[in-house]
Structure 1
Amino acid sequence: MTRRRPLPADLPERFHVAEALERGSSRTRLRASDLAAPFHGVRSRSPGDDSILERCQAYAPRLAEGQFFSHETVFALRGLSTPEWPYTPRVHVSAHRPAREPRTRGVVGHRLQTREPAIEAGPDGMPIENAVRAWRQCGRLWRLDDLVAGADALLAGREPLATVAGLDAEITRMGDVRSGILRRALSLARPGARSPRETLLRLLLTRHGLPEPDVNIDIFTGRGEFVAEVDLVFERWRVAVEYDGRVHAENSRQFARDADRWAAIREAGWDHVRILSHHLRADGGSAVSLVRAALIRAGWRPGH
């Protein structure tokens, strides 16, 4: 059996064919079965590039000058909210005119309007679009609720990636799409949400006629002692709602701490409602019923 000639030691995990040829590899060696070809002109030592991060890492050697990852790819690379399964974010690569976008299998290419670039460094130093611009770009791809969750993700945290004013300014400068879906999404966005499921739960409750809750609010005892930060709070009725996405309580210590926390919330005079993943299945009617019942127990009445 003929032994394969080793690849040049300084070739990275994923590399452009031209780079390998320049360093002495043969075309026959680059067609060997130990190398994957995730994209035309690219070879990878990894057997599979399944995550969007791995796909972008595999494509990165092909990026031409002026090209960068954009649209929903930015959200995936930053670990921000993207639409849930079965939706699968794709690899989007853009370039501003007069540069050319890529045209190859497995990548969605975009030639953007002439504009001062705002490229940032993503994972492994990969060039990515500014997050505010990427959110607007998603306006042509995502449903309304996913755009709201995306905006919430940008507005969240101690050092948010965006402000409401900044998102609004981007829409004003570059224009809205799909009958004004971006402005509708921004009007529904609320700073403070910790997860897309929290956002989707908030939207679900208000669309079923329940009052709008405040987002991620600290609650205290009557003596002013901190009790907990709660996902969604109906302060007037002292109803605290939290989304718990765990399927099983695998960490017994964490579950015990959480149980003590839930008890402390109730002891502070709040009706605590836990929404689990199965409550949001189908149309989410189970989640709405649980929260509506708690509000009615507290004195809320529909239409008042």
Structure 2
Amino acid sequence: MKRRQLPEELGTSFTVREAKRLGVPRDRLTATDLGAPFHGTRTSVPLLTTLDRCRAYEPRLIGAQFFSHQTAALLWGLPLPGPLPEGLHVSAIPPGREPRTRGIIGHRIDVALDRLTLRHGLPVANPVETWAQLASTIGEDHLVAAGDALLTAGLADRADLLEAAQQPRRRGAKALAAAVPFVRAGAESPRESAVRLVLVRAGLPEPELNGNLHDDSGHFLARLDMAYPEYRVAVEYDGRQHADLDQFRRDADRWPAIAGQGWILIRVLDHHLAEPERRIVAPTRRALLSRGWPGAH
């Protein structure tokens, strides 16, 4: 038996209330071709991503409700420590009420309307407000990584982050204030951010980030994760070799070329972060000292 066609104006995600208003019978709303991801909603498409789930919930948003916290961070493409939250974070501006329903983590936040915007057509906290909200749910180092991502993507600058950290009655204000001085544009992964934090907190110089290395003829040789050009020392986080053999081979081919230009290359693997002083700081310090770095004062 052919199923009844749904009204086009419902789109792919809609509320049961709206469907009934348009004359869709109850038995059509319980058909197996429709999912019920949230109470009172239906969807005709699979929900594979956070964006899909947000679009499925959007018809239930009322008043000044918006996607926030980790959900907003994922919509902006910011790195988050795992595991990812199962529920969607949705906030409401008082006197509005936060949603309380299955699959939703509700918040009530007194935030200025100019700190909200649209992302993928969805109401969401803007990038800086999203970063500040993360302080209540993730640690300082992860805040730095998220801030690095914002600056690298051109979604904010350091002054924006500092202003957000200084907002009165901001939850997580202490963590935000501690993170801001370490945030840098240029980091291209949270692991790069983690390695950089290890280096600078150990008193080593602040490295240049993701600069290109050329030979004497101007030919491109490599893109260096972290580099000290004055001393020709580079530090590279290598987390790809097990997942992508071809990439590992390409990287291995360029290591002699980097050394051929007189550079010392310190390779950092994922498990080295468990012993940062011995596996990251010590070899980098030795390399810098061998090239004339005077040491920390």
**Normalising by the residue count of structure 1, what TM-score does the alignment of the two structures yield?**
0.83
Residue 64 (str. 1) matches residue 62 (str. 2)? yes
What is the letter of the counterpart of residue 173 of structure 1?
Answer: Q
Aligned to 2:107: 110
* Cα 1:179–1:63 shift into 2, 3 Å: closer
| Per-residue deviation, residues 58-117 of structure 1 (Å, max 9, x unmatched) | 11111113221112222201222212x234374211222233322222112222225233
Map residues 1-304 of structure 1 onto 2, 5 A cutoff: 4-47=3-46, 49-83=47-81, 85-88=82-85, 90-113=87-110, 115-123=112-120, 125-157=121-153, 160-178=154-172, 180-208=174-202, 210-221=204-215, 227-248=221-242, 250=244, 252=246, 257-280=250-273, 282-284=274-276, 286-288=279-281, 291-292=284-285, 294-295=287-288, 298=291
Q: Distance in 2 between matches of 1:217 and 1:11?
A: 49
Give unmatched runs, 5+ long, in structure 2.
none
Deviation at 1:128, TM superposition (A): 1.3
Deviation at 1:303, TM superposition (A): 5.5
Q: Distance in 2 between matches of 1:255 and 1:179?
A: 41
CA contact (8 A) 2:266 2:283 kept: yes
Deviation at 1:251, TM superposition (A): 6.5
Deviation at 1:45, TM superposition (A): 2.1
Give unmatched runs, 5+ long, in structure 1.
none
| Per-residue deviation, residues 201-229 of structure 1 (Å, max 9, x unmatched) | 11133445544423223444467765443
* Between 131-140 and 57-66, the greater mean CA deviation after superposition: 57-66
What is the letter of the counterpart of residue 240 of structure 2?
Answer: R
Deviation at 1:40, TM superposition (A): 0.8
Q: How many residues align?
A: 296
Q: Distance in 1 between matches of 2:111 and 2:138?
A: 24
CA contact (8 A) 1:176 1:182 kept: no
Q: Distance in 1 between matches of 2:181 and 2:267?
A: 27
| Per-residue deviation, residues 263-298 of structure 1 (Å, max 9, x unmatched) | 332221111233333444x45564456545544654
**Normalising by the residue count of structure 2, what TM-score does the alignment of the two structures yield?**
0.85
Q: Distance in 2 between matches of 1:138 and 1:162?
A: 15
Q: Which runs of 4+ in 1 moved over 6 A?
A: none
What is the letter of the counterpart of residue 36 of structure 2?
Answer: A
SS in structure 1 opposite 2:10? Answer: coil
Q: Distance in 2 between matches of 1:290 and 1:25?
A: 68
* Cα 1:214–1:250 shift into 2, 3 Å: closer
Q: Distance in 1 between matches of 2:20 and 2:241?
A: 50
Q: Distance in 2 between matches of 1:108 and 1:117?
A: 23
What is the letter of the counterpart of residue 75 of structure 1?
Answer: A
